[in-house]
Amino acid sequence: MGWRFEVTISHPDSGWDHFADGWEIQDSQGNRLGWRQLLHPHVNEQPFTRSLNNVMIPDGTKEVFIRTRCARDGWSDQITRVVLER
């Protein structure tokens, strides 16, 4: 009965040393609610979309935040707010 998230990422993947290697879903306090690891570069597939199923969102949560990570540069400073519609 969890939520399904589909996240589209555009990243200048150039190979195994520099690629988007994951994304996470956080609550408003920065607690991780879900994590999707990306296991390989997507050099020729930009932008690309990946999903994560069965993410348990606490009752009363009205928004979550998506943050991406790069194998070379770490966590992005850009965070995307998602308003949840129940």
Q: What is the pLDDT of residues 32-65, one digit of tens each?
A: 999 999 999 998 899 999 999 999 999 999 999 9
Question: Which pTM was predicted?
Answer: 0.89
Average pLDDT, the chain: 94
What is the predicted pLDDT for the residue at 1? 66
The answer to whether the beta carbons of residues 37 and 21 sit under 8 Å apart is yes
Burial code (b: 16+ CB inside 10 Å, e: under 16) for 37-65 equals ebeebbeeeeeeebebeeeebeeeeeebe
CA atoms within 13 A on the CB side of 13: 20
Other CB atoms within a 10 A radius of the CB of residue 30 amount to 9
Domain range list for the chain: 3-57+71-77
Q: What is the pLDDT of residues 14-39, one digit of tens each?
A: 999 999 999 999 999 999 999 999 99
What is the predicted pLDDT for the residue at 85? 86
